[in-house]
Amino acid sequence: MTTTTPGRTDSLVDVVGLSVGHHHELDADATLGSGAATGCTVVLAPHGATGAVDVRGGGPGTRETDLLDPSHSVRKVHAIVLTGGSAYGLAAADGVMRWLEEHGHGIAMGEPDQVVPIVPAAVIFDLPVGDWRTRPTAEFGYRAADSASHTVLSGSVGAGVGARAGALKGGVGTASVVVTDGPAKGITVSALMVANPVGTVFDPATGLPWGVATVGAAAFGLRPPVAAEVSAARDLIAKSTVLNTTIGVVATDAVLGKAALRRVAVAGHDGLARAIRPAHSPLDGDTIFALSTGIHPVHHPAGVPDAFPPDLPVVDAVCTAAAEVVEKAIVDAVLSATPVAGIPTYRELFPSALRS
């Protein structure tokens, strides 16, 4: 069982040791094809977090993902970059590396100031929203890292500025839960997602986001919209460009190794598939990173067969929570999105779904 605990932020940074920064350029008069409308989002773990990744989409744009293979030597990462700009946007990771090096964070390689920060990254394809030639640079990444804090903004910010979710405006969303019982009791699991899929994020029969199924529409302050709004939404012209890819980070404070975290990243994609239909298409580059800050010790329950890892019941519980927070984070992205470049938002299409 999982729950959101009072006093928590219901965001990625509920996992101690992480902070989030955004930087974007957005012109007030941006339209499809003109004006700046792009950005990047940085998840900082400056003192190092164990990392893993799972790539499910058919068209990914990534950096340093091979390093995260459980069989490879480096265990710790110092930041994750989620960025617009397609492959061009990977340049934002250079700026994050510069910021980390200036602050002394990275793998120590000799003298105190000789460090190599590890900064994996993934991109969304948002180039047709706004000016094609305006895309995140190293300066974007540096500024996002420099702005990182424990206040996490959702919606049309950072990497979510140019995001589009099917026919709707996409964006950045976040969520967290605490496991309340079983061998993983007290462990926090959180997610931050950038929703920019080819697939749809709402049920055309009801108008409700697909991702409310697990916890219920009321948990998001929603009710079924009126029939006229649902009918009008169904008549929207389908997404006319190959704007695509949902990327994000799942995090936990549990002490988990790279192999276990890989399973957590895999499970995160279950939540993605609940909230987006279809998911993992040949046109998407769906990528989820998993991080462990290792603050919460893991107790090995008795009775686990010798053939399995002793922490398997804990990993199983964290995986279940990972799917839940990814699903919730994608709903948060869609509900928090504000208008950009004339792309309609969920709140504009379904005003009757919003509880006063």
Q: Is 139 left (phi over 0), alpha (psi -120 to 50) or beta?
A: alpha
CB–CB of 311/164 below 8 Å?
no
Q: Which helix (DSSP H) or strand (DSSP E) does residue 81 occupy? A: strand 76-83
Which residue blocks in 112-257 are alpha helix, DSSP H?
Answer: 138-146, 227-234
Q: What is the pLDDT of residue 266?
A: 98
**pLDDT (tens digit per residue) in 262-272:** 999 999 999 99
**pLDDT (tens digit per residue) in 154-194:** 999 999 999 999 889 999 999 999 999 999 999 999 999 99
258-275 and 312-336 are packed helices; what angle lies between their axes, rounded to 10 degrees?
A: 40
CA-CA distance, 188 to 324, in Å (whole number)? 12
| DSSP calls for 126-186 | -TTBS-TT----HHHHHHHHHT-BS----BSSGGGTT-EETTEE-EEEEEEEEE-SSTTTT
Q: Return all residues near 180 (Cβ < 8 A) that are at least 6 apart.
A: 1, 2, 3
290 is written with which tokens?
């998993």
CA-CA distance, 204 to 230, in Å (whole number)? 7
User: What residue ranges of the chain have pLDDT lower than 70?
Assistant: 1-7, 237-243, 305, 307-308, 310, 356
Q: Which helix (DSSP H) or strand (DSSP E) does residue 53 occupy? A: strand 37-55
Helix, strand or coil, per DSSP, at residue 203:
coil
Nearest Cα to Cα of residue 54 among 265, 236, 248: 265
Cis peptide before 278 (omega within 30 of 0): yes
For residue 160, the 8-state DSSP code is G
**Partners of 129 in beta bridges:** 32
Q: Which CATH superfamily is domain 2-349 in?
A: L-amino peptidase D-ALA esterase/amidase (3.60.70.12)
Sign of the CA dihedral running 21, 25, 29, 32: negative
CA-CA distance, 66 to 168, in Å (whole number)? 33
CA-CA distance, 93 to 85, in Å (whole number)? 12
Nearest Cα to Cα of residue 146 among 192, 195, 103: 103
Beta-strand runs (E) in 255-342:
287-296
In the chain, the amino acid numbered 64 is E
